[in-house]
Amino acid sequence: MTMPAKGVARIALLACLCLFFAAQITARGQDASRPLSPPTRPPTSRPTQPGAAASSASAPTAPRAIQPRQTKAPAPAAPSSGASSVKLGGLDYIKLVDFAKKLGCSARWKKAGERLTVTKGPQRIEFTGDSRDFYVNGIRVFAGSAIRIHRGSLWISRIDADNILAPIVDPSLGRAAVVPLKVIAIDAGHGGIDKGKINERLKVYEKTFTLDTALRLKALLEKRGYKVVMTRLIDKKVELADRPEIAANAGADLFVSIHFNSVEAGAQSVSGAEVYRFTPRYQPPVSRSEANAEDKLANPGDANAFWSAVAAYNIHRALLADLKVPDRGFKHHKFAVLRLAKCPAVLIEAGFLSNDAEARKIATPEYRQKIAEAIADGIGAYAAAVAAAQK
Ligand SMILES: [Zn+2]
């Protein structure tokens, strides 16, 4: 078969991009508990044929074109643009009081220069200096870098101002970077020989509960009119890199990965929910205090930081409200599925299997249905934020 010049150029571009992404992936930072096998296919865009999404199920399909999702439009101005900054610990920091005002909030010192309360409508956000977390209406949110005390005031990293505070306070600021929510990819964590977390005493596996919860969520979302694609429908192993790719091939607008948690120390006293977004570039994951060379690398997940934060925050809030479980925090990490996702992406740790009391609850179909309903509620709130931003 002869190849027209345009086709040859396209293949050369594809080869270049393959090498580029292979290099990115070789140099990645990873959570040791979630090893990543290198993807063998380049990133893909939304399929052109309607209906392709629903049928793809767990089988990855051939790539169609090289074009990351949702990055076609010129990048919108960052919410913090124009704010003057200082360098603290190698990062740009802006004055929290000034940025809060820019977001239309009022700010009041609880303790001058150290503790600040920021309010906007029903939202009340409490910041404490030299702390990596802050509280939004009592919900614990982890910034990527500590809020700093400097020159008698509090300062927030520009990355956190744009990627965590602005998405929570005013999602409409991200309007240029989002598409309407129609296709949702649900990723049931683990599967097959990868059992995930195990409670030996109760003889229960994470992989069983993630799939059952994912199938319940699928039914709820389809009832609400969404098209759903599953990264697996049965008990089988799916490579980590294939999961976001299945989502991308189906043209997913949101990627939701479902997991259950475990700890070794104090297992019977640790319970509750935590939800993750991808850690922004230049920041360390929540499990590490200092950034390293790998944190400076660009990743596909960077492109959708704003809306990943909106989705994760809304899902975390819904889990806490519906399940009435302890708040383990809205966190961030460099998990492979979030790093490689080409649409807004979240990872949910819906409860601790290492805690016998919580594991017994999770083992009941009724509680897994409640978890699925809570996630669906959170996705509903996210969809509403997306729709409002596009008005
Ligand atoms: Zn897991």
Residue 296 — pLDDT band, cuts 50, 70, 90? very high
Domain end among 169, 196, 212: 169
C-alpha 330 – ligand 1 centre gap (Å): 16
State the average pLDDT over residues 328-340. Answer: 98
Task: Report if residue 77 sits inside a domain.
Answer: no
Kindly provide the residue ranges of all beta strands, DSSP E only, lying in the chain, ordered along the sequence.
85-88, 91-95, 106-111, 115-120, 123-128, 131-136, 139-150, 153-157, 183-188, 198-199, 204-205, 227-230, 254-261, 273-278, 327-333, 345-352
pLDDT higher than 60, residue 241: yes
SS3 assignment for 309-378: HHHHHHHHHHHHHHHCCCEEEEEEECCHHHHCCCCCEEEEEEEECCCHHHHHHHCCHHHHHHHHHHHHHH
The rounded Å distance from CA 186 to ligand 1 centre is: 14
At residue 86, the 3 state secondary structure works out as strand
d(CA 210, ligand 1 centre) in Å: 8
Confidence bin at 360 (pLDDT 50/70/90)? very high
Helix (H, G, I), strand (E, B) or coil at 244: helix
Q: Is the pLDDT assigned to residue 321 strictly greater than 50?
A: yes
CATH of residue 102's domain is: 3.30.457.10
Per the structure, the count of domains in the chain is 2
Q: Which of 136, 169, 202 is the last residue of a domain?
A: 169
Say if CB 179 and CB 296 are below 8 A apart: no
Q: Are residues 115 and 190 in the same domain?
A: no
* CA-derived radius of gyration, the chain: 21
> What pLDDT shows up at residue 75?
63
Q: Are residues 314 and 186 in the same domain?
A: yes
Residues 183 and 157 in one domain: no
Confirm whether 35 is domain-assigned.
no
Mean per-residue pLDDT of the chain: 85
- Give the Å distance between the CA of 281 and the centre of ligand 1: 23
Tell me the CA–centroid distance for residue 359 and ligand 1, in Å.
Answer: 14
Find out whether 355 and 270 touch, Cβ atoms under 8 Å. yes
CA 119 to ligand 1 centroid distance, Å: 36
CA of 88 to the centre of ligand 1 (A): 35
Higher-pLDDT residue of 295, 45: 295
Q: Which pLDDT tens digit goes with each residue over 89-109?
A: 999 999 999 999 999 999 999
Q: Which segment of 16-25, 253-262, 287-296, 312-321 scores lowest on mean pLDDT?
A: 16-25
The pLDDT value given to residue 176: 79
389 CA to centre of ligand 1 in angstroms = 32
The predicted structure's pLDDT at residue 210:
98
Look at the pTM and tell me if it is higher than 0.75.
yes
157 CA distance to ligand 1 middle (Å) = 30
Cα–ligand 1 centroid distance for 279 (angstroms): 18
Q: Ligand 1 mean position to 196 CA, how many Å? A: 5
Mean pLDDT lowest for which of 9-18, 203-212, 263-272?
9-18
What pLDDT is attached to residue 90?
A: 92
CA 236 to centroid of ligand 1, rounded, Å = 14
* Structure confidence by residue, pLDDT tens digits, 34-51: 433 333 333 333 333 333
Say yes or no: 323 and 342 in one domain. yes
Residue 77 pLDDT: 82
Which residues form the domain of 151? 85-169
Give the distance (Å) from ligand 1 centre to CA of residue 188: 9
Q: What is the pLDDT of residues 149-178, one digit of tens each?
A: 999 999 999 999 999 999 999 999 988 778
- The answer to whether residue 49 is domain-embedded is no
Q: How far is the CA of 37 from the centre of ligand 1 (A)?
A: 16
| Predicted local distance difference test score (pLDDT) of residue 74 | 60
Q: What is the pLDDT of residues 47-93, one digit of tens each?
A: 333 333 333 333 333 334 444 455 455 666 899 988 889 999 999 99
